[in-house]
Structure 1
Amino acid sequence: MLGCRSLLKQIKKRKRRKSHKCITKNPKRKIEQEQEDCAAEDGFSLKGSSPSQNYGVQPLGNFYFSSSPHNSRNTGLGNIQTLTDELVLDILGFLSGTDLGILSTVSKSFYVFCNHEPLWRNLVLENCGDGFLFKRSWKSTYVATYQPSFDVSKVGSLGLKVKDFYSDYLFQSWLCANLEMKHEWLDRDNVIRRKGISLDEFISNFEEPNKPVLLEGCLDNWPALEKWDRDYLVKVCGDARFSVGPVQMKLDDYFRYSDQAQEERPLYLFDPKFADKVPKLDQDYEVPLYFNEDLFSVLGEERPDYRWIIIGPAGSGSSFHIDPNSTSAWNAVVKGSKKWVLFPPDVVPPGVHPSSDGAEVACPVSITEWFMNFYESTKTWKKKPVECVCKAGEVIFVPNGWWHLVINLEDSIAITQNFVSRRNLLNVMEFLKRPNASSLVSGTRDRVNLHDKFRNAIEASYPGTIDKLVLEAEKKKAEQEKPSFWDSVKDSNSGAFKFSF
């Protein structure tokens, strides 16, 4: 973990600093400085607005420098100190807000654990389906929601500082919420970039070979590029509510949250029905010509979810996943910028563990955690990921089956759409026909019959298309398996072909 990796480095630096060590009379500031120094020594920079809301938690490696032989984490938990931090928090996750508040008074250790922000975040999201008004922290938001007579603005936001509390898990959670992206995480940019290419060039060079490409200049006619700032969107969207995780929120309330929150996994506004809710938004953009063929449209209202408006603050994003239903996708940035990391279908990203049937994917808690713990290893891989920073006015093509991670580098607004073209139709049909398709298909109410409905709709709208594509695929496969000239002239009795002059 973080503290252990930097232990030897800190020991050496501590020896050098002993002769001029600074003594502070402010214990609170001393703890904050130790946290900042620990992050800096590992090559990380904290955000300028970083709150010191981790209650004095330090990485476990710092315990070896402590003058005290006790870790408050252990002494305060009593008999359950042998449990991992993750398990302790899982157990606390079954408690109500009232129970957490009472338990936090039992000991310093329970105070820290019971004030862990994700616990209060879960309570808010589980009980506030119609949205919430964010109040500096998730705990304050919960209290303000269920005890409106209590003025949370009069309560200090930083909480108590606990001395000699060491936990890698809790410290890393705080660190991931407050880290700036390192320059070396952003420098690699090896995606192919194109501007003004023809549709035929796009199909032959990128869509057919299933390769990503970043396209420039194809959004220049979008009114959204000029119009979609906060004031415009809040005015146009009014009281419409959008999907933000498991809750529905007005856009104005979401911006209020995103301006204040600084957490490991910021909530992402990701809504598939935005055009139905606010038709004006649908008029402010158009599908780039490279993606106009969209065969799922033959299903009409029964088609799976396929387009989303995406709004999020810096640090928000999507951890590694493959797009649903074996579709390809395009993602256009309207405001802000996004860091992309993509791996081809035959390469599973480090730290990612998909189940054998592909129904579930286990990966790090946050995107920042993945960069901290796994990104460096990809530099030595034979098949390196495709990476880029996609800026406003640019669109990236994500081929079907590619793993990808996306993180917003600043407040960002984007439009994304999944689509099926003739180049990918057979892959989608095969995916929808899998034995476990009912657990894999997403974005539709009828997961069981989607394959048959789609096939019948394609046959009705484009008769013979599927059979034609099957014949072309079989012909291509036969060509690839056909022996080369040199293979055909080998002497089967003598082994490999030999020249005889």
Structure 2
Amino acid sequence: MMQSAGGGGGGGGGRRGWHKRGLARQPEPCGIVESSPPHGIKPLGAAFLSARNHVQDRNESLGDFAIFGDEELLLVLEYLHPRDLCKLACVSRYLRAFASHDELWQAHCEQLFQARPFSYATNWKTSYMRACARGGCDEVSQGACHDSTSTDSSGSQPPQQSAQPEHHQQGQEQDEEQEQEGHATDLAVYSDYLYSSWFYAAACIDPSWLEEETMPRIELSPAEFQAQYESKQKPVILKGLAKSWPAFKLWPDGGIKSVCPKNTLFKAGTFNVTLDAFDTYSPHQCDQRPLYIFDKHFADKCPQLGQQYSVPEHFSTDLFSSIEGANRPNYRWLIVGPAKSGSTWHKDPNSTAAWNALVEGEKRWIMTPPNYPPPGVYPSPDGSAVATPISVTEWFISYYEALQQSGIPYVEGTQRPGDVVFVPHGWWHVVLNTKPSIAVTQNYAGAPNLFAVLRFIGTKPDQVSGVAQDVNLYEELVHGLRQHHPEMMAVVQRELDTRKRTHKRAHGSRRRVADGNDTIGGTRRDSDDDDDGGGGGADDGDEEHDGLARKKPKGPSVVKPFSFNFAS
């Protein structure tokens, strides 16, 4: 299943609409949370081993709904009220499987929990029914949403209704008749869509995903880091850099819950959750794309959290801090997530670099250079949207092996408590929580990526994020730099002048080659030596990353024209 997104982000659990889904390959699962899919769901290929006519079964079970494919049917069911979904689930086994699809019920929970506290129990359908039972929803009191198969994490049954509705009794009688006719051994629901939803949610983390360690994990002084990695825009794991934080001692093992008032709400996808409620959700969920807290206002909601960590000296320069007031773009987030949660492939916004400090747990990182999107990731031509598998687990199962065999340059490594990961601007990256994790991350504009940031926010204002729509981030940053960092403006201006000269030479060289004369100033030169332009960024097409990337074939240097107006 592919999702389309405009860039990085967080929260997990987001519903991106129904898209074509298929198992790219069927690996041997290294472990399954549940022994088998619910409602007798099986992959479509298994129907060839069945003695029954699965096409006839599907048509009879779905009735008029049989004209829809699986994805289209779920789109139709999105419009139904929960009461009607429950009634539909009592009609036949196929309709029960589709009407019980957990992503449908997650959408209803998103609406329900806007007006009441978040509460999770076993799955989203059960969570909805129990929340309604506590709040007196009509559909529960009437018995329409009774689900005798739902249990909570302790195995207890949900509250029983005194009388079951007539359509529920008819559905049970139909199943009993089929069992008496000898068909109970093959009451399967054949659907690749439903099966893959369950499979990607239930499959565990494969140990082979964690074997390679090609991203350096070392201790460095600020000067060493800036000279060896930040200036060259190379990823690195700074070992133990955050271990001196008070948060490193106070937040793990549930300690973070004692730092904030119990009613403090944090953003997790489309939900607002307390840490206690999220702690109930995390160990019991079996979502394909688990929710995780990704909150940009955590330090405002709970000032103690902001006081218990500090920006490492290695990242002390953030030129966005020159923007005063509310016009500074969002730049820091608290991240709390269960195992298997994480961030799908993306680039960080506004061509910023980032650092991510892990307080508790473990994270697996993979990064590829700017011009090398990994297999299964399809950016739009202008970079405004990216189509990726909907979950991190789905990408690893379907495409990790393809990345290993693709020849695409990449680095990967495991981040451990106290480690800080540096993400260079423009690099593609994916993050998988291999254990329940707590982290703090910040995006920033430093001297090495300032030019890339200015170019991005100056030429792609429609893709700028983290500020109000009426804010001209380019003008705000230029104004702030002139006031607080005039020396940086001089560097940027020199860079612009160098690129303009390079652009003129490149165009002049092409004209001379077209005329049969490839000499410059009376001296014959190799065409690949004619490019002395510097700078770069996520969109520059940098092709060398210290041996990671393939080199460009030799040929006339071409520099894309661009311009900035620093006079405003």
Deviation (angstroms), 1:285: 1.4
Are 1:407 and 2:392 matched, yes or no?
no
- Alignment correspondent of 2:298: 274
Partner residue of 1:259? 283
Q: Is the 8 A contact 2:369 2:409 kept in 1?
A: no
Whether 1:467 aligns to 2:490 is: yes
Q: Report deviation, 1:224.
A: 1.4
Cα deviations across residues 188-228 of structure 1 (Å, max 9, x unaligned)? 22112221x23232222211221111110211211212211
What CA RMSD, in Å, does the superposition of the two structures yield over aligned residues?
3.0
For the structure 1 residues 393 and 251, does the alpha-carbon distance in structure 2 shift closer, same or farther, using more than 3 Å as the test?
same
Which residue matches 2:240? Answer: 217
Say yes or no: does 1:457 pair with 2:480: yes
Cα distance in 1, alignment partners of residues 38 and 478 from structure 2: 54
Q: Does 1:376 align with 2:401?
A: yes
How far 1:286 moved relative to its partner?
1.3
Q: Which residue of 2 aligns with 1:499?
A: none
1:121 to 2:106 alignment? yes
- Quick check: 1:181 aligned with 2:165? no
Q: For residue 156 of structure 1, what is the aligned residue in structure 2?
A: 149
| Aligned positions of 1:345-424 closer than 5 A | 345-424=370-449
Q: How far apart are the structure 1 equivalents of 2:29 and 2:260?
A: 39
State the distance in 1 between where 2:76 and 2:26 align: 34
Match of 1:55 among 32, 39, 45: 39
Measured after TM superposition, the shift of residue 131 of structure 1 is 4.1
Give the distance between the partners of 1:234 and 1:455, measured in 2 at CA. 41
Offset of residue 164 of structure 1: 2.4
AA aligned to 1:380 is: Q
For residues 100-157 of structure 1, give each alpha carbon's deviation from its aligned partner in whole angstroms, at most 9, with x where no partner exists. 1122122211110000001000111133225411122111111122232569999432
Summarize the alignment of residues 218-367 of structure 1 with structure 2, pairs less than 5 Å apart. 218-238=241-261, 239-301=263-325, 302-367=327-392
Is 1:141 matched with 2:141?
no
**CA–CA separation in structure 2 for the residues paired with 1:377 and 1:136:** 34
Alignment of 1:78 with 2:63, yes or no, is yes
Alpha-carbon deviation of 1:411?
0.8
Change in CA separation of 1:461 and 1:257 when aligned onto 2, cut-off 3 Å = same
Alignment match of 1:69 (pick from 53, 64, 67):
53
**What's the secondary structure of 2:119's corresponding residue?**
coil
Q: What secondary structure sits across from 2:339 in the alignment?
A: coil
In the alignment, which residue of structure 2 is the partner of 1:12? none
Contact 1:350 1:374 in 2 (8 A): yes
Q: Of 222, 227, 233, which aligns to 1:199?
A: 222
Q: Percent identity?
A: 36
Letter paired with 1:371: F
Distance 1:308 1:491 in 2: 55
Letter in 2 for 1:50: E
Cα distance in 2 between the residues matched to 1:240 and 1:111: 38
Give the secondary structure class of the aligned counterpart of 2:40: coil
C-alpha separation in 2, matches of 1:267 and 1:116: 17
User: Contact 2:39 / 2:93 at 8 angstroms: preserved in 1?
Assistant: no
Structure 1 residue 318: Cα displacement: 0.8
Letter in 1 for 2:334: I
Counterpart amino acid of residue 276 in structure 1: D
Question: What's the CA shift for 1:287?
Answer: 1.1
Distance 1:81 1:389 in 2: 47
**Greater CA deviation, 251-260 or 158-167?**
158-167
Partner of 2:170: none
Q: Tell me which moved more, 292-301 or 260-269.
A: 292-301
Does the aligned pair in 2 maintain the 1:441–1:447 contact within 8 Å? no
Q: 1:473 to 1:198 in 2, by over 3 A?
A: farther
Say which is worse superposed, 113-122 or 83-92, in terms of deviation. 83-92
Q: Secondary structure at the match of 1:411?
A: strand
1:35 corresponds in structure 2 to: none
1:166: how far off? 1.2
Relative contact order higher in (CA < 8 Å, ≥ 6 apart): 2
Q: Is the contact between residue 372 and residue 409 of structure 2 (CA under 8 Å) also seen in structure 1?
A: no
Which runs of at least 4 in structure 1 moved beyond 6 Å after TM superposition?
Answer: 151-154, 158-162, 476-483, 487-491
Letter in 2 for 1:264: Q
For the 8 Å contact 1:307–1:415, the answer to whether it is kept is: yes
> Which residue identity lines up with residue 211 of structure 2 in the other structure?
D
Query: 2: distance between equivalents of 1:251 and 1:153?
Result: 29
The superposition leaves residues 344-393 of structure 1 with CA deviations (integer Å, 9 ceiling, x where unpaired) of 11011211122222222111121111112111111122223211111111
Alpha-carbon shift at residue 479 of structure 1 (Å)? 8.9
Write the distance in 2 (CA, Å) between the matches of 1:421 and 1:141. 45
1:203 counterpart letter in structure 2 = Q
Distance in 2, Cα, partners of 1:314 & 1:73: 36
| The 10-residue stretch of structure 1 (67-76 or 53-62) with the greater mean CA deviation from structure 2 | 67-76
| Contact 2:27/2:397 (<8 A) preserved | no
In structure 2, the partner of 1:437 is 461
- TM-score normalised according to structure 1 size: 0.83
Q: What is the TM-score of this pair, normalised by structure 2?
A: 0.73
Q: Which one-letter code corresponds to 1:431 in the other structure? A: F
Q: Partner of 1:170 in structure 2?
A: 194
